[in-house]
A = this chain, B = another copy of it.
């Protein structure tokens, strides 16, 4: 564990970033979403799917916005006693040519010292998606 003040500051920084993630997604701000990630970030959404890195990440968030994604947190943000925090949410979106869908999801994120996300791992399985 790190010192108490450093630990508390880190928690606040991580939770502010996850709140910005929600706000920017719901505002359709793809560039703002990408700006929350470190250059070497890795996205695994869902856990068990191929990793997204580099140019995959702006493309991923361009799709997020194009699909009309809306995120609704369903529990307060969880921190940790290290550099990880958790956003628990439902997400609704409409894939191209498809019907509106809802996923019960949670993003487990790891942060660097600058408060940027270095890793995002999304908990949702085949039983956690349904028509919206």
Q: Name A46's contact: one of B48, B80, B108 (CB within 8 Å).
A: B80
Are A1 and B48 interface neighbours, CB within 8 A? yes
Cβ-neighbour of A106 out of B11, B106, B122 (below 8 A): B106
The residues of A with any CB-CB pair to B shorter than 8 Å are: 1-2, 4, 7-8, 11-12, 15, 46-49, 74-76, 78-86, 88, 104-106, 108, 122-128
9 shortest interchain CB distances as A-B pairs: A79-B125, A48-B82, A48-B81, A47-B80, A78-B123, A86-B123, A11-B125, A46-B81, A74-B75
User: What residues of chain B lie closer than 8 Å to A48, measured between beta carbons?
Assistant: 1-2, 80-84
Q: How far is the CA of A84 from the CA of B78 in the complex (A)?
A: 18
Q: Is the CB of A127 within 8 A of B79?
A: yes
Q: Is the CB of A80 within 8 A of B124?
A: yes
